[in-house]
Amino acid sequence: MAEKLLVTVIIPIYNAEEYLESCINSVLRQTYSELEIILIDDGSTDHSPQICEKYSEEDSRIRVLHIQNSGVANARNVGISKARGSYLAFVDSDDFVHKEYIQKMVEGCQKYNADVCIVQYARISAKETEGSICWEKFKTTGKADLLTGVQASYLLYEKEYCAGMIVPWGKLFRRSLFDNMRFSNYRIYEDEAFIYKLIFNAAKLVRLEDVLYMYRNTPESIITKKFSEDNLVLFQILRERVRFYEEKSEKALCNLTLNRLYFTYAEYYNKAKQNLNNPENILKKLRREQFGLYKEMIRNRGFSAKRKMKYTLALLFPEQFYKVFYK
């Protein structure tokens, strides 16, 4: 029988009193008992700090860290630095997990000698509770897909997989992957700026079909939050990813990132126009940057003539292109 190694579960918390107990309870109910649970209170102003302290008094596996508000990326980094486990898992404070969340991922890592184990998730509304979820309806074949880090990196660009691949939750990581690596300290898109590096650097990943994580759509979720000027940082993050793949001599991954970057200009041009007050200067900046990238894309032999035609249409008719491809 494989040795039971300590797993550290890191939960960053900011003003999560409405959902926090459900989240912590789901982690405490894990069938895998060798856990260290680190609750990082990121300067909450509601009752989250008191809830954390109450749980730490009731269960010795729980450690609470109170820090000044600095964003989820830094909160996770603090947890990583304090972690003692051989593996790390992440859970967001407004989500909850199946009782076998850790067990199945540990078994996956040990059975296949993987650096990362990935499980599936389902989205629920802000009003749904753990008691209203019937986990049994999420059928699985028990299939396991084995991937290298490079192979898994391509899933970041496939519509079916990308949303679940680019986040830290729903995964178990070998602790050594975080040696000399931490989340980039962005206020939003912090996952986009970091997780792709962990995936690429993993020697082997295993992807299980089991749905074991419930992601709650709240008003603060990035997918439901109103577009703002802050969202424009994604361009910087994607350019950093392009440079990363260039340094690794991964031309195909580089081109996939360039492709996403280019179409994000068309998408965000329209979102800025619809959501920002007096967006004229930002719109001009986006168009200027998109045109500069367009010249680079047209010269790139890695893109087909059909693909380059789409780039031209996105440049000439950004609003119409957005309606066709993003609506």
- Which of 128, 73, 74 is closest to 96 using CA atoms? 128
DSSP for residue 231: G
Is the pLDDT assigned to residue 221 strictly greater than 90? no
The rounded percent of the chain whose pLDDT value lies above 90 is: 86
Query: Which pair of structure tokens corresponds to residue 277?
Result: 């007050």
State the distance between the two ends of the chain, measured CA to CA, in whole angstroms: 52
DSSP tag of 189: S
Give yes or no for residue 220 having a pLDDT over 80.
Answer: no
Asked if the model's pLDDT at residue 53 lies above 80, the reply is yes
Region of poorest pLDDT, from 13-17, 66-70, 260-264, 314-318? 314-318
What's the average model confidence in pLDDT over 121-144?
83
| Environment class of 248 (CB within 10 Å of its CB; exposed 0-12, middle 13-18, buried 19+) | middle
Minimum mean pLDDT range among 105-114, 130-139, 202-211, 241-250: 130-139
In the chain, where are the structural domains located? 7-217, 229-326
For residue 226, what pLDDT is reported? 86
What average pLDDT does this structure show over 296-317? 94
Task: Tell me the C-alpha distance between 70 and 68, whole Å.
Answer: 6
What one-character DSSP code corresponds to residue 185? Answer: -
Partner residues linked to 211 by β-bridges: 120
**Residues 97-108, mean pLDDT to the nearest whole number:** 97
% of the chain residues with pLDDT over 70: 96
What per-residue confidence (pLDDT) applies to 128?
A: 86
* Lowest-confidence segment of 126-140, 144-158, 233-247 by average pLDDT: 126-140
Structure tokens that stand for 41 in this block: 């209170």
pLDDT at 322 over 90: no
Q: Of 15-19, 235-239, 315-319, give the lowest mean pLDDT range.
A: 315-319
Q: Is the pLDDT of residue 23 over 90?
A: yes
**7-217 carries CATH number 3.90.550.10:** yes
Between 79 and 224, where is the model more confident? 79
pLDDT at 60 (0 to 100)? 97
Q: What is the pLDDT of residue 222?
A: 56
The angle that helices 305-316 and 251-275 make with each other, rounded to 10 degrees, is 20
The pTM for the full model equals: 0.94
Mean pLDDT of the chain: 93
Check residue 226 and report its DSSP letter: P
For 117-132, the pLDDT digits (tens) are 999 999 998 888 887 8
Q: What is the pLDDT of residue 2?
A: 58
pLDDT at 1: 45
In whole angstroms, give the CA distance from residue 124 to residue 214: 7
pLDDT at 98: 96
pLDDT tier, 140 (very low <50, low <70, confident <90, very high otherwise): confident
